[in-house]
Amino acid sequence: MIAIAISTTIADGGEYACAVATAGGEPQLLDFDPAALDDQLAGAAGVLLSGGGDVEPARYGESSDLADEVDPRRDAFELALVRRARERGLPTLCICRGVQVANVAFGGTLVDDIGRALGPAAAALHRWEVDGESVRGLIDGHTLAIRPRSLLATIVANESLVTGSRHHQSIARVAADLDVVGTTADGIIEAVEARFASPFWLGVQWHPESTLAQDDGASSAIFAAFVAAAGHFADSRNDR
């Protein structure tokens, strides 16, 4: 069994769990309890941090009146989770809020609101809404430039990718242990990889779990590569 530990507020794991299962993993949902973190990770072969509300600005030394749906309990748990996953060498995939959590956990900061930083056109591009609801599919114009020969470029077999987008915050100062490998034309950081040793570590600001059938296989390839790395991790652990 390739057990993938998923941190999310969605009761059944939603699209994240479905994407993991489709790729051959066994989703295991985590409780936001730092005291039980090690027990919950005991059998995990990979960790997925999902989307959600904003990280509390105080966590990265800022204050903001635009932070939305802040959950201090979840923040505390996921900051510990991403650090512990690194310590254990667990394959890790961070999505949307997840990549922001990881950047903060490793010493980086966040843009508190893209609209305030770059204006309404940029805000609309990164969180396109119809009738008050965020679009869950691909967004024309939300195109990533991907660094050649990066892990992400290898996975999606391309150096350009149209994605979906549902965020109003983003990475500002990049943590020293992370490397930028994907940006949009307005300069928003959309993908980072680890500078530290890891069998698989990828953070993406968009939502590949929502576009599995919409981007010629790129989203599916991300989950397949993640679960495959988790499988190798599980096999190596069993061989010890």
94-106 tens-digit pLDDT: 999 999 999 999 9
Catalytic residue among 96, 126, 167, 193: 96
Q: Which of 12-26, 61-75, 172-186, 200-214 has the lowest mean pLDDT?
A: 61-75
Which range of residues forms the domain containing residue 9? 3-238
CATH code, domain with 114:
3.40.50.880
pLDDT at 119: 76
Give the per-residue pLDDT at 80. Answer: 98
**Contact 83/201 with Cβ under 8 angstroms?**
no
**Cα-Cα-Cα-Cα dihedral sign, residues 153, 98, 123, 186:** negative
Dihedral angle sign, alpha carbons of residues 108, 112, 117, 120: positive
Please indicate whether residue 209 is annotated as part of the active site: yes
CA-based end-to-end distance of the chain: 17
Total domain count for the chain? 1
Catalytic residue among 126, 142, 167, 207: 207
Asked whether residue 135 carries a pLDDT value surpassing 80, the answer given is no
Catalytic annotation on 69?
Answer: no
Q: What is the pLDDT of residue 41?
A: 97
Distance in angstroms (rounded) separating the CA atoms of residues 190 and 112: 15
207 given a catalytic annotation: yes
Mean pLDDT on 210-239 = 94
Mean pLDDT calculated for residue range 172-193: 96
Across the chain, mean pLDDT equals: 92
State the burial class of residue 117 (Cβ atoms within 10 Å of its Cβ: 0-12, 13-18, 19+).
middle
Of 133, 81, 122, 124, give the one whose Cα is nearest residue 102.
81
239 falls in which pLDDT band (50, 70, 90)?
Answer: low
∠ CA(76), CA(134), CA(11), 5° rounding? 45
**pLDDT tens, 17-53?**
999 999 999 999 999 999 999 999 999 999 999 999 9
The dihedral built from the CA positions of residue 212, 218, 222 and 224, taken in this order, carries a sign that is: positive
